[in-house]
Amino acid sequence: MAEQSQMDKHLQNSTFGVPKVNPDEQRRYLGTFRERVSLAMTIDEVNDRNNLDAFITEITAHPDYQIILNGHIEQADLAPYLKLAAQHNLKFTIRNDIFYGMAADDYGLIVASDHAINDNPVTLAKKYPNQAHTDTETQKKSLLDKLLGK
């Protein structure tokens, strides 16, 4: 197959767009790559105000990182994170394209660097197990425990 000329490549990119690298990974991590992520919170974790302490710990440790928010989350639930980002002079972006997830276990907030950092783990529950609060903690109670008030 013959090599494409620069003009052909330019026309292809203009017509179909520039090909993306790892588009599924970028959709999952709200437009960035996994290697740049320092903290990833699901939509459920963002909606739970008890997780603000872990978020504050992360942004205090990394004041030069940026915050990427899922725009499908209610504005009232995003407000505390936006306020904290403004107080700490952090850059933030709200992504609301249709291909970003809206399910409870999709990511709702990403703290990311502008270059590869390869942090591990990045999920809130694994990175801050003592500070993270999830709804599964309350769902694990049996009916008998609930009736007895345990």
**Could you report the per-residue pLDDT of 6-16, keeping only the tens digit for each?**
888 888 877 87
pTM here is: 0.78
Q: At what angle do helices 52-61 and 75-87 cross, to 10 degrees?
A: 30
Query: Would you state the pLDDT for residue 132?
Result: 76
Question: Which residues have a Cβ under 8 Å from the Cβ of 88 and sit 6 or more positions away?
Answer: 59, 60, 63
Q: In angstroms, rounded to a whole number, what is the distance separating the alpha carbons of residues 148 and 143?
A: 9
Query: Would you state the pLDDT for residue 143?
Result: 62
Stretches where the chain sits below pLDDT 50 are 1, 136-139
Query: Would you state the pLDDT for residue 96?
Result: 93
